[in-house]
Amino acid sequence: MAFPLPDGLPPGHLESWGTVDVWLSNELPQDIEHLWRLLLDQSHATGLFPLLCWPDSQGQPHDLAGVDAIRLESKLAADFLEYRRQRLPFWSQPMPMEMPEDVEPWPHDPGPPFVSWPGLAPSSPVTADSSIPTQTAARTVAGLVDTHWYGLNECRLALVPAQRGADIPAVLGWKADAPIELLCALLRSWEERFGAQVVAMFGSELHVAVAWPPRSADQAELLALEHVLSTADNIVDDPPTPFPDYAGRLVNRTHWWFGWD
């Protein structure tokens, strides 16, 4: 066995996913909220982070040096300029679209209200009354299971060896059309600013629990732009969601999800 396992795990087994050994439960565990909290509380001692994923999630691991090399502000500033150049014609003067009479036309998306990169969203203040990231993550996982999110019933609990939960997509070589190095750099930053924790990764979906979400419209607007620049298709493009609507929904939201076609 590549690493000692924590106590109290349900039946499971160890698998080698490329160069990484991962422990997988045989079934989706009962009382997942309590177990998740215990595993996250021990993660800094064990070096193992819990994750809900499909058993065939393995890919080719990415070198974390690529994540370390990303200068997030500079990268996002350049990406925003290109994104704005491509999308500005649609934001400024949407193309008319012929729709069947019984189909509601898509709402116009005015895009982000920024001419140049506005900078990262400020951190949410953390006080004695703020949520604890491990507890928020455990509640989010339990909520996902209770809502029977599509595809989740095929998931298993995995214990992934990593230095931090934000690195899980790179460590496992997640097989999605996401820019893995950029995504992990964003997740690291969100982990620090918002108490974000990766909780599930299956198919092309990534689910993140957020202990300290944005509390104001201005903060959420800046964060929404970071979400857009993650390149996730579900943010404003699929289905078409106007940027102001998406940003507004981020206020106090403790569960973020991203999907790539």
Lowest mean pLDDT among 64-68, 79-83, 232-236: 232-236
Please report which helix (H) or strand (E) contains residue 140, including its range: helix 133-146
Q: Report which residue type is found at 149.
A: W
Q: Choose between 44 and 219: higher pLDDT.
A: 219
Judged against a pLDDT cut of 80, whether residue 58 lies above it is answered with: no
Q: Which residues pair with 202 in a beta bridge?
A: 205
Q: What is the mean pLDDT of residues 131-141?
A: 96
Q: State residue 49's pLDDT score.
A: 97
Judged against a pLDDT cut of 60, whether residue 1 lies above it is answered with: no
Torsion sign over Cα 232, 19, 192, 36: positive
Q: State residue 19's pLDDT score.
A: 84
Q: State residue 99's pLDDT score.
A: 63
Q: What is the mean pLDDT of residues 138-148?
A: 94
Render pLDDT for 231-251 as a digit per residue (tens, 0 to 9): 999 998 766 899 999 999 999
Q: Which residues pair with 22 in a beta bridge?
A: 15
Q: Which residues pair with 198 in a beta bridge?
A: 208
Lowest mean pLDDT among 34-48, 94-108, 177-191, 231-245: 94-108
Q: State residue 92's pLDDT score.
A: 86
Q: State residue 247's pLDDT score.
A: 97
Q: Give the integer Cα–Cα distance in Å for 248 and 13.
A: 43
Q: State residue 97's pLDDT score.
A: 60
Judged against a pLDDT cut of 70, whether residue 96 lies above it is answered with: no
Predicted TM-score (pTM) above 0.85: yes
Cβ–Cβ under 8 Å, residues 209 and 191: no
Whole-number average pLDDT of the chain: 92
Helices 72-92 and 180-194: crossing angle, nearest 10°?
Answer: 100
